[in-house]
Amino acid sequence: MSDDERHAQANALLGTSATTRTKIDSRDSERANRRWWDADAEQYHQTHADFLGVGSPGGEFVWCPEGLHEGDMGFLGDVTGKTILEIGCGSAPCSRWLAGHGAFPVGLDVSRGMLERGVAAMDQGGPRVPLVQAGAEALPFADASFDLACSAFGGVPFVADSALVMREVARVLRPGGRWVFSVNHPMRWIFPDDPGEAGLTASIPYFDRTPYVEVDGDGVPTYVEHHRTIGDRVREIVGAGLHVVDIVEPDWPEWLDREWGQWSPLRGQIFPGTAIFIAEKP
């Protein structure tokens, strides 16, 4: 199934007709992505819910298409008794998994459609967690509210001002708190968004931060994704007053033959598809 087929429902609902590279501000970026994830929620879950453990009564915490699980990796450390903010939680399988392991998570997402999927999953049983609809650039929480914060491909790639997200996370973390987030690896930006042979040829400048934007027939953005280099990410983290602890670039596992959009065994065996940043607040 092609990427267009995976998102046919959202494209039809929003009238997506073209792609471009153009500057876009925080308001328009958030509006476009809120509408996109509302429109794509059903088809996204048809494609990915099993892999992400959405239907599991206790949820699952999968960091990336390479299948890294928090239960195996322990990037967040001991979560027992910790208050945790998940940014870009989608239908909140990660937050539900955390709750089942003794944490007190809050899930935040810009999309009501995705959050409603989380409510429906919790209605089937298992831990319940509070869910909040809001954008990542203005977290609706008091200073020093959380012990930990996390984001598994949620929020960070879809905001115009990711440096502001880092500052907001630093603000709501308590001293000693940890912030872990996964994003598509910045080097992926230079390759076409294709899991096959066509996706192996570099053709897009790595240093061009102009956002990728899909638009409708009137030129209104329907989906936006933002690029930052590895250096950009590090500077944003450090600029927020956090310390970089590690940057993890997962290998493609031998057991995984699944394609997920641009992620595939073919590409994964040659270059990384995910970067996981681990930072702490002094």
- Give the domain CATH number at 276: 3.40.50.150
Cβ(229)–Cβ(162) below 8 Å: no
Residue 198 structural domain: 3-281
**Which pLDDT tens digits describe the chain residue by residue (282 residues)?**
455 677 899 999 999 999 999 999 999 999 999 999 999 999 989 988 888 888 888 999 999 999 999 999 999 999 999 999 999 999 999 999 999 999 999 999 999 999 999 999 999 999 999 999 999 999 999 999 999 999 999 999 999 999 999 999 999 999 999 999 999 999 999 999 899 999 999 999 999 999 999 999 999 999 999 999 999 999 999 999 999 999 999 999 999 998 988 999 999 999 999 999 999 999
Those residues whose C-beta lies under 8 Å from the C-beta of residue 52, and which sit 6 or more positions away, are 60, 62, 90, 93
In the numeric block, the tokens 């970089």 are attached to: 244
- The 10 Å CB-count burial string (b at 16+, else e) for 98-109 is bbbbebbbbbbb
List, as one string, the DSSP characters of 24-50. Answer: --HHHHHHHHHHHHHHHHHHHHHHHHH
Indicate the number of domains in the chain.
Answer: 1
Look up the pTM and report it.
Answer: 0.96
CA–CA separation, 167 and 153 (whole Å): 18
Q: What is the pLDDT of residue 1?
A: 46
Q: Which DSSP helix (H) or strand (E) runs through 277?
A: strand 274-280
